[in-house]
Structure 1
């Protein structure tokens, strides 16, 4: 039965393209970049003594390493003290198959349950012209084209 055409194909309609899969390490990097922070800046709220700085920065850098998934028992994946970050989204990206991943902006990693404002100060929402982006990223892209 796997080789049977889909109902949409039989009706002459094409199936919608699959959304790109966002991996956990990509999510962390997108959220940090959306905040305009370096790894050093993102690590700063997590170390209190100078001798811990290098270790914390290494751990933050590791979160963005391709293939890395923070284990559930380690709470170090919660970057919300440094920038807007949804730990529940991160856990879903780590623990569930791609078809169960939440919908994320493919430019900044925003999800509809996280508060984010667009460049006009309004709550971000999904773009009407590009369903893979939020309104904030759409507005930022528009500003780049103008300048």
Structure 2
């Protein structure tokens, strides 16, 4: 009887893929990256008139499982803080493997990168979950 050991595969498993960013999380990340509270974003959209309705709408759209039905609604939010309506709509309907890469720290993407105040620096990718701006931020803890 012959005895031998089977070869051991020492390759490491690929790191788990990141779950896709939801439309609600994308809006929340972009609003927070702009340094705005829900109230401040609502005021930028409608001023004081209609403020309560705008605040409720933003909170609703930032609730997991809720998506805007009309592109115009997301375009209206872009008046308050930088976001890409195309990316939002893609997150709503595209399969996970076709969704854009989005930073888990600020919500930027390859088509909508962070830009410094002077417009000179654009971010890049530091790793799967974060852009260079978020990865290099003091005390950065980008969620997977």
- Counterparts of 1:106 and 1:22, CA distance in 2: 8
The aligned residue for residue 5 of structure 2 is none
- Counterparts of 2:96 and 2:46, CA distance in 1: 34
User: Per residue, is there more helix in 1 or in 2?
Assistant: 1
Q: Once superposed, what is the RMSD of the aligned Cα atoms? A: 2.4
The aligned residue for residue 22 of structure 2 is 23
The aligned residue for residue 34 of structure 2 is 35
Question: Structure 1, unaligned stretches of length 5 or more?
Answer: 1-9
The aligned residue for residue 134 of structure 1 is 131
Change (3 A) 1:75 1:119: closer
Q: Which has the higher contact order (CA 8 A, sep 6+)?
A: 2
TM, length-normalised to structure 2: 0.79
TM, length-normalised to structure 1: 0.77
How many residue pairs get matched? 130
User: Are the equivalent residues in 1 in contact too, given 2:125–2:132 (CA < 8 A)?
Assistant: yes
- Counterparts of 2:78 and 2:19, CA distance in 1: 25
Q: Structure 1: which 4+ aligned runs deviate by more than 3 Å?
A: 10-13, 118-121
Q: Secondary structure at the match of 1:144?
A: coil
Aligned residue runs from structure 1 range 1-147, under 5 A? 12=11, 14-48=13-47, 50=49, 52-71=50-69, 73=70, 75-78=72-75, 79-117=77-115, 122-127=121-126, 130-140=127-137, 143-144=138-139
More displaced stretch, 112-121 vs 32-41: 112-121
Q: Deviations over 1:71-109 (max 9, x none)?
A: 1x3511222111110100000000111111100111111
- Counterparts of 1:144 and 1:118, CA distance in 2: 19
